[in-house]
Copies of this chain bind each other. A is one copy, B any other.
Amino acid sequence: MAVEPVLVAGAWRNAHAESTFRAENPATGAVLEGDFPVSEWPDCDDALTAAAAAAKELRAVPAEALADFLELYAKKIEENSTALVERAHAETGLPIVPRLRDAELPRTVTQLRQGAAAAREGSWAHAIIDTKANIRSHFAPIGPVVILGPNNFPFAFNGVSGGDMTAVIATGCPVIAKAHPLHPGTSKLLAECAVAALAEAGLPPATVQMLYHIGNQDGLRLVADPRVGATSFTGSRGGGLALKAAADKAGKPIYLEMSSLNPVVLLPGALAERGEQLATELVDSCLAAAGQMCTSPNLILTIAGEDTERLAADLAGMLQKRPPSPLLSAGGLSGLHQSVRALVEAGAEVVTGAERAGGEGYRYKNTLLRVTAAQFLAAPERLQREAFGNATMLVIADDAAQLQQAIAALEGNLTGSVYSSTTGADDGLYTTIAAELRFKVGRLLDDKVPTGVALSPAMDHGGPYPSTGHPGFTAVGIPASLIRFGALQCYDNVRPHRLPAALQDRSPNPAMWRQIDGAWVRG
C-alpha cells in the first residue's frame, strides 16, 4: 500500500520518509488503515521555504480573504463531519456523542468562524495612532508559525484545524502543522478540507502545510529555523521544555502549554453544604475524556474532617462504579501508570484504582489517591507529577493554615477552582486561599470545575510557568490569542500614502477599534 503523501508547498506530494506508522483504535487495539510517513528534514526544509514565500505573499492579501478562508474551511468541515467524526472516533476512542460530533466539531468550526470575525474586524492588531507626533503602530504577522498539536483534541486543538491554527491564519501568518501521530487519518481529512478552502478563497496554497510526524531532532531544528516566526506547542512538559530550549537559543518565540494539575480547593462550608453534589461534579470533570484534558482536576485540596472522609468515600464509590473509558494510546496507558506509581512511591495512598483495567483496548481503572498536606509539603515536586488520564489525588490538610501552605507550594497551573459555602461561611478563608492561589494560576474559578474552556474573549487558557512558557499569553479566547502571532511594527513620520490602511487617518474598516490619541474609537 502506498504511503500517504504530505501537504507541502500547496500540494500533496510524496514524503521524504524512511519510516511510516499506522494509527490504532485505542478502544480495541485494532490497527487502522493508512501508512503515514515520518518525514525527514527535507520535508521540513521545503515546508519552511514555501511558508516563508507564502508569508510574503500574505502581506498583500486583504483580511477579508483570510476570513473567507476560515469560514469556507469551517463549512467544509461541517460538510465532511460524518467521515471526520468516524475517523476521529476510531483513532482516539473518544465518543461520537456527546463528544466528537456534538461538542468538539462544533467547537472547532465556532473557533474558525470567530477567527474569521476577528480577522474582518481587525481590532486584534491594537492599532495605536499618535496624531501629534505622527507615530503609529500595530501588530503585524510574525511570519511562518509551526504548530505542534496535542494528542487529546483531534479537531479543536489539531495543528491543522484548531484554535492555534485559527489564530495564526487570522493574523495573516502561514501555518506549518505537525499533526499528532495518534490521529493522522483525521488530520488528513481536515487538511483536505483546508486545501479546498484555500483554493476557493484564493489564498497562497502554502498558507497551510502539514506533516504527519517528524523525529524529535527535526522538531528541535524546525522551531529554531531562521525562516520561522514563532511556534506553538501543546503537549507534555518534557517535550515542551526541549522545544523551548531550542527555540529560546535561536531567539524564536515559542508558546507552550505543557502541563497542569488544575487544583480544586473545597472549603469546609461547601463540603458540609453540598458534599455529594461536589463529588459528582468532580468525578464528571475528572473522567471527562478519561481525564485526558489540559484542565482535568488532578488535585483536590480539603481540610481533614468527617466531610472530607465522606467525600473520599463518595469519590471512590463513584469512580469504582463508572466504567473506565479507553485512553488515547498504549503509551498513554503506560505513562499514566508510571505517573501513578511515582506518586505512590512519593507517599500517596491508593484509595481505588491504580492498575490497568480489563477489557479491550487501553484502559486504566478510575483512580483516586490521597496524601496528607504534610506529605505534600515534604515532597511538593514529586507529588506534583502530572498523571495524564483518569486519576486524581486528594490532598488533605490538618487545618486552614496548612491548606494555605499547600497552595503556596503549588507550581504554576492553567486553572485553580475554589468551592465555598453559599451562605458566606467560608468567605474569610476564601480570601486567604484565593489570594494565594491567584498567583499560581491563569484562570481562577468559583464553584466550578475547570474542564470546559469557554470560547470567550475574556478566557485565559494560559498560566504561570511551567503550565506555559509565559504568563502573559492565552491559547484560547479570540481575539486575545492572536496577539501571540503578531510582531509590533511602528511607523514614524511615514508618508500617509505609504502607511498600512489600518494606520491611516481614515479607518478603512468601520468595525475596527483603534486607539487614537489615548481613546479607543471605532470607524
Contacts and interface: CB of A to CB of B under 8 A. Distances in A.
Nearest to A487: B471
Given A59-B435, A253-B470, A430-B498, A460 B513 contact: no
A439 interface: yes
A515 interface: yes
B474 A488 contact: yes
Contact of A460 (B59, B129, B465, B489): B489
Contacts of A252: 465
Nearest to A422: B495
Contacts of A434: 498
A488 B469 contact: no
A489 B480 CA distance: 13
B458 A473 contact: no
Contacts of A498: 430-431, 434, 446
Contacts of A143: 439
Given A446-B498, A472-B483, A488 B466 contact: no
A202 interface: no
Interface stretch (A162-170, A241-249, A358-366): A241-249
A351 to B, nearest CB: 29
Interface stretch (A68-76, A132-140, A313-321): A132-140
Among A133, A244, A486, A522, max chain B CB count under 10 A is at: A133
B446 A494 contact: yes
A448 interface: yes
A518 B133 contact: no
B251 A446 contact: no
Given A446-B495, A472-B253, A456 B133 contact: yes
Contacts of A253: 470-472
Copies assembled:
2
A464 B142 CA distance: 9
Contacts of A489: 438, 442, 444, 460
A281 to B, nearest CB: 13
Contact of A130 (B244, B415, B457, B490): B457
Nearest to A420: B495
A495 B111 CA distance: 28
Interface in A480-523: 480, 483-484, 486-495, 498, 513, 515, 518-520, 522
Interface string A231-250: 00000000000001100110
A442 B438 CA distance: 34
A374 interface: no
A291 interface: no
Contacts of A458: 128-130, 133, 135-137, 490
B472 A442 contact: no
Contact of A133 (B137, B454, B490, B494): B454
A443 interface: yes
Given A143-B439, A498-B434, A520-B520, A459 B491 contact: no
A35 interface: no
6 A-B pairs with the lowest CB-CB distances in the bound complex, closest first: A251-B465, A460-B490, A520-B520, A471-B487, A248-B248, A443-B490
26 contacts: A59-B435, A128-B457, A128-B480, A130-B458, A133-B458, A137-B460, A143-B439, A248-B248, A253-B470, A253-B472, A415-B492, A430-B498, A434-B498, A439-B487, A442-B489, A442-B490, A443-B490, A444-B489, A444-B491, A444-B492, A446-B492, A447-B495, A458-B490, A460-B490, A472-B487, A473-B488
Given A135-B459, A520-B520, 15 more contacts: A128-B457, A130-B458, A137-B474, A248-B248, A251-B469, A415-B492, A446-B493, A447-B495, A448-B493, A460-B488, A462-B488, A471-B488, A472-B486, A472-B488, A480-B488
Interface of A: 59, 128-130, 133, 135-137, 139-140, 142-143, 244-245, 248-249, 251-253, 415, 430-431, 434-435, 438-439, 442-448, 454, 456-460, 462, 464-466, 469-474, 477, 480, 483-484, 486-495, 498, 513, 515, 518-520, 522
